[in-house]
Chains A and B, each alone.
Chain A
Amino acid sequence: MDISLQQVEYRYQVNSPFEHLALEDVSIDIPSGTYLAIIGHTGSGKSTILQHLNAILKPTKGKVIIGDQEVTNAKKQKNLKSIRKKVGIVFQFPEHQLFEETVEKDICFGPMNFGVSESEAKRRAREAILQVGLSEEILAKSPFDLSGGQMRRVAIAGVLAMEPDVIVLDEPTAGLDPRGRKEIMDMFYRLHKDRNLSTILVTHSMEDAALYADQIVVMHQGKVFKKGSPREIFQSPVGLMELGLDVPEVVRFQNKLEDTFHVKFSKTCVTLEELTEEIHRLFKKVGELT
């Protein structure tokens, strides 16, 4: 499902002393099947964009087109539920949304709200719990008896069980240990590939953005600062660093290497594999010369 934001503006708390502009003239196209990463500082408008993606917020100006539906400020819309069925959001610290007596009921909650039958919801719950790397026994437990990491996975399973076409992730790994992080990110990537989903990832981690995304949008003070593929974005680290944003370790390493040895690699490497290959090639070249 294609999503497109067109000249979106969003103001918080209009007509109050707290009114402020959170998004200004934001246009982003997310064709079906894209893995898009949105990066930026706290307060740059990342999370506000994310809430536009399933019409939880409506733009104060401009429009958001989700599939064949258009969301604007103007009209009250009844069929928002069909949008929310197709766009699943995993909010920051999703474990805060758990409330049912058992894990199974909690995972079934979303699908059943969207009219899925109980038996089908239970089937999906079993599938989802395995997907997030937990065992089926956990389905019968109370979500509040689980560890923090397990609660996170259960909450994610609750969104996956809705079987959305688009999955939106707001810092899904914040507060997890490094291994849990990698497992969850890899799981989302597999899902993205297997089910041909669109995935939108809001993150602070440049490594994750470089590793998984096809497209990156850099947000700064409510505006789109830069868009492009990871290679394009990280090619010129200077601009990013001026915003106080990091570049992936791999890119930093390559830049240091190039500076120190006065060499130039053929391209900006964004993954460890690419960098290893480039360095290997360089060594071979040096070997041939001497």
Chain B
Amino acid sequence: MMEKMIIGRYIPVESPLHRMDPRAKLMIVFLFVCIVFLANNAITYGILAVYTFLMVFASKVPFRYIMGGLKIVFWLILFTMILHLFLTKEGDILFQWGWFTVYEGGLRQGIFISMRFFLLILMTSLLTLTTTPIEITDGLEELLGPLKKFKFPVHELALMMSISLRFIPTLMDETDKIMKAQTARGVDFSGGTIKERINSIIPLLIPLFISSFKRAEELAVAMEARGYRGGEGRTKYRLLQWSLLDTGMLILLALVTLLLAVFRM
């Protein structure tokens, strides 16, 4: 039932994006999140869209699969869009229908904001689709390394992140299992009134919480049994390799940023 969700899932295929250094990918995603806000007209949004779809293409993850997995997000985007249609009152009136008026500014704002949202989600999904959780953590730990001087718990943060990412699919599977078990006991997750639906969540959430707590405890014991004592003096088994591809990708993003700066109003 939950098998379509792609958030946090890694797809093992061979592609340029998969080969990239996670540090470069993290930097690109971070920069992308910043430069998305530079776009403010059709051309600049067009540039961003072209760039994003180029990246999707380079990842070799089937586009239809990504779209299928983002179905839930589309509702959110639709919601923001409608909110903007209602609440922004700028520019000429496009049409009026009773008390409901759509302004030109509202339509434009709605489209732009949804687009921004969509591109952001697409890029961040690409990161997790092409990078294993362990790579993401390694990359993040390296990138944040300098902060250790200010007593910032970089290693702990990275560990926390990798554990949460690692357990997203496990939790999904678990949810699926419990849903099936409760369905067999007569719970209807897909129908009924809103009250019934909310009630049906309880038999799902409680077992899920309990097993998560149990799992956390087991994991902690297993880690300590294998001698885990925090990041102090811990050596690395996997070393990150920066290649020409990574430099190239960063330059590409720099060019995109430049284009945005030139074409924005």
Contacts and interface: CB of A to CB of B under 8 A. Distances in A.
Interface in A122-178: 144, 158-159, 162
Contacts of B184: 54, 56, 84, 88-89, 91, 159
Nearest to A85: B186
B146 interface: no
Contacts of B186: 81, 84-85, 110, 113-114, 162
A42 to B, nearest CB: 15
B54 to A, nearest CB: 20
B65 A16 contact: yes
A91 B181 contact: yes
Interface residues of A, number: 28
B211 interface: yes
Given A17-B13, A89-B181, A97-B181, 11 more contacts: A12-B3, A13-B4, A15-B64, A16-B68, A17-B11, A96-B174, A96-B177, A96-B211, A99-B203, A99-B210, A159-B184
Contacts of A18: 3
Interface string A55-82: 0100000000000000000000000010
A263 to B, nearest CB: 49
A162 B185 contact: yes
A109 interface: yes
13 contacts: A13-B3, A15-B64, A15-B68, A16-B3, A16-B65, A17-B62, A56-B183, A81-B186, A84-B183, A97-B181, A98-B207, A113-B186, A162-B186
Interface string B195-224: 000000011001100110000000000000
A12 B4 CA distance: 10
Nearest to B65: A16
B188 interface: yes
Interface size class of B (residues with CB under 8 A): 20 to 34
Closest 8 CB pairs of A and B: A113-B186, A99-B206, A110-B185, A97-B181, A89-B184, A91-B181, A114-B186, A99-B203
B182 interface: yes
A40 interface: no
Contacts of A17: 11, 13, 61-62, 65
Interface in A83-121: 84-85, 88-89, 91, 94, 96-99, 109-110, 113-114
B249 interface: no
Interface in A1-44: 12-13, 15-18
Nearest to A54: B184
B7 interface: no
A26 to B, nearest CB: 19
A54 B65 CA distance: 29
Nearest to B179: A56
Contact of B185 (A13, A16, A96, A113): A113
Interface in B1-20: 3-4, 11, 13
A94 B202 contact: no
Contacts of B180: 51, 56, 91
B35 interface: no
**Most chain B beta-carbon contacts within 10 A, residue among A84, A88, A97, A144:** A97
A84 B189 CA distance: 14
A113 B187 CA distance: 7
Nearest to A158: B185
B178 interface: yes
Contacts of B202: 99
Contacts of A84: 183-186
A88 B186 CA distance: 10
A91 B179 CA distance: 11
Contacts of A97: 178, 181-182, 185, 203, 207
